[in-house]
Amino acid sequence: MSEKEIIPELVRKRRSPFVDVMMRLAKSPLAMFGLAIIFVLVFCAIFAELISPYSPIKQDLMHMFETPSAEHWLGTDEFGRDILSRLIYGARVSLQVGFIAVGIALVTGGMLGAVSGYYSGKLDNIIMRVMDVLLSIPQTLLAIAIVAALGPSLMNLMIAVGISAVPTYARIVRGSVLSIRSMEFIEAARAAGSSDLRIILKHIIPNSMAPIIVQSTLGVASAILNAAGLSFIGLGIQPPNPEWGAMLSGGRQYIRDYPHMTLYPGLAIMLTILALNFLGDGLRDALDPKLKR
């Protein structure tokens, strides 16, 4: 008899930290605004073929430099290409660059950071000094150097942006591993007979997720900005492929006469970065154990 009576109570009480964080996140209007924009972008990126009114690379020399109208909602550029369509396709590139670059940075930096934090000593010293050297070079400059060496392409752009962000993640992961490694429950796990690998995977990593999640969200924003910057100076996505930074760069010479060509890509970049930052801030607050109620 008791089995059935207990179950509803179990279900009610079972609230994982993930649900907890999501509920706290939902209380922040700014974070929700950010999340909404990001959903719209992801939607655009996935269904670009279906929702964009025109092809992003089809030239229409009869309709060059058109200002926004019913036909071309955001106007056309110097080759008569529809700016809205280009922005929608551009979202695909930007998000891809943002997430994959952060993925590269996170996996590489995270592994380096975890190893050097857990096994401190000489290895830690070597890894972190190399990271310091990388960190002393401005991120954009480092990315430029890497793309210049590898040659401009989408893949190389992601690698360059990713590598230039590795030291940041290595430091964050190392820091949180260090602080968690000295906690008593790690010692307790060792006293229970757990191996190093088990301790890292089951105890240390789940406990150091919070700062990593926050940094990754903010990192996607800076990766997108970085990629746009590289494209702006011609080292990223090559024309005629649509990319927000490249569009800015292309419209730059016409800014006095046709400001809409630079305005909309600029707005797209700004909104995306703003949304990601709002979300990142919201997540940071939601994941902060001091604010737990």
Partner 1 sequence: MDNMLDIRNLTIHYEVESGTVHAVEGLNLTLGRGESLGFVGETGAGKTTTALGIMRLIPNPPGKIKSGEIIFDGENLLDKSEAEMRKIRGEKIAMIFQDPMTSLNPVMTVDKQIAEMISLHKKVTKSEALKLAGDMLELVGIRRERMHDYPHQFSGGMKQRVVIAIALACDPELLIADEPTTALDVTIQAQVLELMKELKQKFSASMILITHDLGIVAEICDKVAIMYAGRVVEYADKRSLYSHPIHPYTRGLFRSVPDIDEDVDELPVIPGLMPDPVNLPSGCAFHPRCSMATEECAKVRPEMQEAEPGHFAACPFCVKKFMNGEAL
x/- binding map, residues 172-201, to partner 1, per CB under 8 A? Answer: -----------xxx-xxxxxxxxx------
Beta bridge partners of 76: 82
What's the min distance (Å) between Cβ of 176 and partner 1?
Answer: 13
Spatial distance between the Cα atoms of 16 and 206, rounded to a whole number of angstroms: 13
Q: Is 207 in the site for partner 1 (CB under 8 A)?
A: yes
Q: Does 17 bind partner 1 (CB under 8 A)?
A: yes
Q: 35 or 287: whose CB is closer to partner 1?
A: 287
Number of H helices, E strands in the chain: 14, 0
**Shortest distance (Å) from residue 221 CB to partner 1:** 27
- The nearer residue to partner 1, 71 or 196, going by C-beta atoms, is 196
Contact 216, 284 (CB under 8 A): no
**Tokens in use for 267?**
């707005």
**Minimal distance in Å, beta carbon 141 to partner 1?**
39
* Inter-residue contact 277 to 221 (CB < 8 Å): yes
* Residue 19 interacting with partner 1 (CB under 8 A): no
Closest to 250 in 3D by CA, of 228, 267, 272: 228
Closest C-alpha to 97, from 212, 267, 243: 243
As measured in angstroms, the least distance from the Cβ of 200 to partner 1 is: 13
Q: How many residues bind partner 1 (CB under 8 A)?
A: 24
What is the C-alpha separation between 150 and 173, in angstroms, rounded? 28
* Minimum distance of partner 1 from residue 135's CB (angstroms): 28
Please report, as ranges, the residues that interact with partner 1 according to CB under 8 A.
Answer: 6, 9-10, 13-14, 17, 183-185, 187-195, 202-203, 206-207, 289, 292
